Structure 1
Amino acid sequence: MLSAFFCDGDDDIVAPSTRNARTTGPKIMSRTAVKSFMTALSHIYPDAESELIFRNTFELLVSVVLSAQATDKSVNKATKGLFEEAPDPRTMAALGEEGIARHIRTIGLWRAKAHNVALLCQQLLDRHQGEVPSDRASLEALPGVGRKTANVVLNVAFDQDTMAVDTHIFRLSNRTGLAPGKNVRVVEKELVARIPKKMLRPSHHWLILLGRYICKARSPECWHCPVTEWCLNPDKALTPPPTKKIR
């Protein structure tokens, strides 16, 4: 949700993808197929976890806030020095907006993110004794934190069965027929309802990895996708493109 300064990467960043998503193309995957789809992913990514680098819940929260419209790799590069200098809310609040900005200038929306992270740290101190809250309402009340960020923190740090729908998950949910929807909230609701409960928490990571590295936006690599058997995309590219000859 886009505040006066910055959105956390939730609806206002993901939702524009709906303009290009094929929400009417594939049929809706059956629940039996969904279970098989997710089971296959569980075997491919048995140890899947966030690609963000963090040592505690506070660093996870800051990293996810910074990851809006930025790659995990760029965030990890920026937070290495930031977390060394300010490993907790008190020291990061003391850095202030300019001190935080000094570390994160290489990532998108860095000015707004520095502003929000500084406010976020101060609110953690003022309202939560410097601890990251474990409930959605308190998380979403923090600057720069919306539903997707809250879902990631609740899922990863507090082992809750939440589904954070990013651009990758939104795209492949529509493309494959796993959980079609016109916006991220609809897709999230459908995923939570359709994925077997025991698979829901880790499935967030499985789907991100599938979307990031195989079911890519422009050139999905269907020919080596582990779940193409259940995918309902009518335009699956089942053969790799021809190798360009080097002259």
Structure 2
Amino acid sequence: MTRLREDDIDTVSARLPAYNETLRRLLGKGLAEVAAYSQAGSPGDFAVWQDTPVGVIPVSCGQGVIGGFAHTVKEIIAFLGFSSFVTARSDVGGLAEAVQRGAQVVFLADDDHFVAIHLAKGKVVDNAAATGRGYAAALALLAGGLTGEKALVIGAGPVGAGAAAYLTEQGAQVVIYDSNPEKSAQLSRAMAGVTAADDMAAALAACRLVVEATPAAGVIDCRDITDRMLVAAPGVPLGITPQGEARLSGRLIHDVLEIGVATMLFTVFAD
């Protein structure tokens, strides 16, 4: 999991309405609708759980609490129409406080994991897999469907695996590329419908749809981008050069936290 910095997230809460409108303009659906779409539903299907308390717990172990992180997660959850609060205490004390305050779902993150847990159902949703799924769903909306499309996933980690799983479920032909060829090969062996590529440039030229799921900057350059290419980029930092980002205007989906948190929330409540 990429560890975010305070300056990565300090404007997320204030920008939620504007970002929601950007998604509506690009995809025809806002943040809640994208997350629900990743679960083959609509926001109305989840309305019954909107009053279910969701506790966000700061965690201080490892490198410590990221300033504003818990508050930002809470604000995203609230923006989606759900009841949420940040515990006053952190760590085990925060978990106890969340339960005492009636939380049925808790969100918490350390240096390695960011999870949502439904306490009654014993259901755990990992941010990495949920983020991959949410971005793949957004890419499906941007493309107007996935059936018969050829999609490249760059990065064979948990985010890329989550994206690949959704893309194959929806009928796309998925190609996976990782700078470590063994990781690509492992994922292609583990997941039906996924083939491994050993040449990223050739794979980019062959695929209209791309999920850039690495934690590295500048993976995709302007020269790699075709006029028809559509990109969902959950990686932080953005894995596209500034020139590439400019060329992809209107064809790129990227944020630092919003789609991932929204998809975690809707996934943890999904049956």
- Normalising by structure 1, what TM-score? 0.30
Q: Which has the higher helix share?
A: 1
Q: Which has the higher strand share?
A: 2
Q: Which has the higher contact order (CA 8 A, sep 6+)?
A: 1
- Normalising by structure 2, what TM-score? 0.28
